[in-house]
């Protein structure tokens, strides 16, 4: 998914199935593949996200190194491992 502001792409979101193991890691790998294969797509974007409907990770498009990818919220710390919406 790609978000546009005034026609300029600013955010790339990769959504994965929550039933898959390591869904967030698969989403980040997909973002890395997009970056390798079509680097011109990532020129105007500033942020990317990967989600599986439960977890949400984000990072900057010019640096997809694992240590620079952050979790938005760790459910295990705040809700004892069970997200409730």
CA distance 9 to 45: 6
Q: Look up residue 3 and give its two tokens.
A: 């978000």
Place of tokens 């890395």: 32
CATH of 2-79, one of 3.90.730.10, 3.90.1570.50, 3.10.20.520, 3.40.50.720: 3.90.1570.50
pLDDT tens track, the chain, 85 positions: 888 889 888 888 888 888 888 888 888 888 889 888 988 877 777 777 888 877 778 787 777 666 677 777 655 555 555 554 4
**What are the structural domain ranges in the chain?**
2-79
Under 8 Å between Cβ of 62 and 41: no
């Amino acid at each position: 998914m790609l978000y546009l502001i005034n026609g300029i792409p600013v955010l790339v979101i990769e959504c994965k199935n929550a039933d898959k193991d390591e869904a967030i890691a698969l989403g980040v790998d997909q973002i890395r593949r997009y970056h390798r294969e079509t680097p011109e797509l990532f020129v105007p974007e500033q942020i990317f996200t990967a989600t599986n409907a439960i977890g949400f990770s984000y990072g900057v498009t010019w640096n997809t190194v694992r240590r620079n990818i952050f979790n938005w919220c760790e459910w295990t710390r705040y809700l004892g491992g069970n997200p409730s919406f």
